[in-house]
Amino acid sequence: MLELLPPPPTDPLWDLTYEFGTDERPERLNLVLGVYRDPAGSTPVMAAVRAAEIRLAERSESKEYRGLSGNAAFNRALLGMVLGPGGPGGPADRAAAVQTVAGSGALRLLADLVCRTRPGTTVWISDPAYVNHRPILEAAGLTVRTYAWRDAAGGFDAAGALRDLAGAGREDVVLLQGCCHNPTGADPARQDWEALAGLAGRAGWVPFVDLAYHGLGDGLEADLWATRMLAERVPEMLIAVSCSKNFGLYSDRTGCAIVLGASARAVRHAETALQNAARTLYSMPPEHGAAVVTTVLEDAGLRALWRTELDLMRDRIGANRAELTACLTARGHGDLAATLARQKGMFSMLPLSAPGMLALRRRFAIYGTTSGRINIAGIPEDRIPCLARGIAGVLEQPSPPTQRLAPRPRIG
């Protein structure tokens, strides 16, 4: 049977990560994966998370199954964090949450829900989009179309997005990143979000919000504003939430799928459909990360510590971005610096083609994705001038050398 399997494509991000691991140059710099790194280049366990883990280890009594929805306390805590405290009749009163295997698992569960409701539904994603959006949606059996996101100056293309989404109809779903857009770092202004909400209300399409970086852009409440505003204005909405970045739970795979409906009956049916989808995919999600997040959010002291740490992470990302723009300006690339300065969150896109990014790897040992994305949150403090020098060097002499490092070996 396995002999009949054609050679499948490999994952481009992990291929680059493998190539970085085989690069023996001591100055090499990995800006491929979306992880936060401290000034020394390490990805630390947050103090609030470590304290919660110690507390959980001391009181752990059982590893019994939690059920298809996962940790119910975690689901309530995430609903409260994402949608806000609200009041009677608010969005949280017409919402249900199911714990998932990280944000990607939430995206897939919600995509399955859409396909079970209307097979072949068209889901619109931004151009460019997070690298895993299209594969997840298409694997669930959905049709994918794109809408403009990034303008020529590297900011959010409000006119282009509204123009393209004017073609989305009542049967469609529109995937929107709630903040800190991956890969561009370009976010809509509040008036642009208002315009998108108005268009959704008039056309009737369902917003599908991907929340992976809340807290790392303008602050937790500000980063959740657009999601909460949409929830107030549309009858139905889907939200995929990740705890990987803002809790540092990358390998614990902790996330949540949220559905909002116009009636309690619709939400109940959607919740059961999500549980059924989870049952056939992985049965139920792992407990540890959810228990950690619940412990942090339910304890006032740990919650305050987490918010302080999250703010420090955001400040460091902002400081990295500011220093990089200053270094690029000093090298005569003020226009690019101004573009990067306007962007938010972990990522930015360089105005480099795939050959340009290859040149950046070969000549300067700096690894970003072939699309030009770099992880601003992953730059060690003392390497920012080196990054600016490499970017400037490729912009001024873009031709890559012909020599290539050994490709990742295939099995078989």
Give the HSE-up count for residue 68: Cα atoms under 13 Å, Cβ half-sphere. Answer: 13
Residue 88: predicted pLDDT: 61
* C-beta of residue 125 within 8 angstroms of C-beta of residue 134: yes
How far apart, in Å, are the Cα atoms of 213 and each of 15, 48, 127, 219?
Answer: 24, 18, 19, 10
Residue 7: predicted pLDDT: 87
Give the HSE-up count for residue 212: Cα atoms under 13 Å, Cβ half-sphere. Answer: 27
SS3 257: strand
Full-model pTM: 0.93
d(CA 44, CA 35): 10
d(CA 102, CA 257): 9
Q: What are phi and psi of 36, to 5 degrees?
A: -80, 135
Question: CB atoms < 10 A from the CB of 43, how many?
Answer: 14
- Helix, strand, coil abundance in the chain, percent, nearest 5: 50, 15, 35
| Beta-sheet strand order (sheet of 206-211) | 95-101, 254-260, 237-242, 206-211, 173-177, 122-127, 143-148
* C-beta of residue 290 within 8 angstroms of C-beta of residue 247: no
> Which burial class, exposed, middle or buried, applies to 246 when counting CB atoms under 10 A from its CB (0-12, 13-18, 19+)?
buried
Residue 399: predicted pLDDT: 64
Q: Which helix (H) or strand (E) holds 207?
A: strand 206-211
How far apart, in Å, are the Cα atoms of 199 and each of 180, 203, 204, 365?
Answer: 22, 6, 8, 45
Task: Sort strands 254-260 and 237-242 into parallel, antiparallel or unpaired.
Answer: antiparallel
d(CA 133, CA 149): 15
Structural domains of the chain sorted by starting position, each given as residue range(s) with its CATH number in brackets: 10-44+303-396 (3.90.1150.10), 65-298 (3.40.640.10)
Residue 12: predicted pLDDT: 84
d(CA 222, CA 368): 28
Which ranges constitute the DSSP H helices of 6-84? 12-22, 47-59, 72-83
* C-beta of residue 53 within 8 angstroms of C-beta of residue 252: no
Considering only CA atoms, give the Rg of the chain.
Answer: 22
Q: pLDDT of the chain along its 412 residues, tens only?
A: 888 889 888 888 888 988 988 999 999 999 999 999 998 888 999 999 999 999 999 998 788 999 999 999 999 999 999 999 766 668 888 999 999 999 999 999 999 999 999 999 999 999 999 999 999 999 999 999 999 999 999 999 999 999 999 999 999 999 999 999 999 999 999 999 999 999 999 999 999 999 999 999 999 999 999 999 999 999 999 999 999 999 999 999 999 999 999 999 999 999 999 999 999 999 999 999 999 999 999 999 999 999 999 999 999 999 999 999 999 999 999 999 999 999 999 999 999 999 999 999 999 999 999 999 999 999 988 999 999 999 999 999 866 554 444 444 443 3
Question: CB atoms < 10 A from the CB of 335, how many?
Answer: 13
Residue 404: predicted pLDDT: 47
The β-bridge partners of 208 are 175, 238
Residue 411: predicted pLDDT: 39
d(CA 74, CA 62): 17
Dihedral (Cα; 123, 126, 129, 130), 10-degree rounding: -60
The β-bridge partners of 127 are 148
d(CA 6, CA 8): 6
d(CA 58, CA 65): 19
Q: What are phi and psi of 215, to 5 degrees?
A: 105, -15
Residue 403: predicted pLDDT: 45
Tokens representing 359 are: 């040149």
Which among 219, 187, 223 is positioned nearest to 342, based on CA atoms? 187
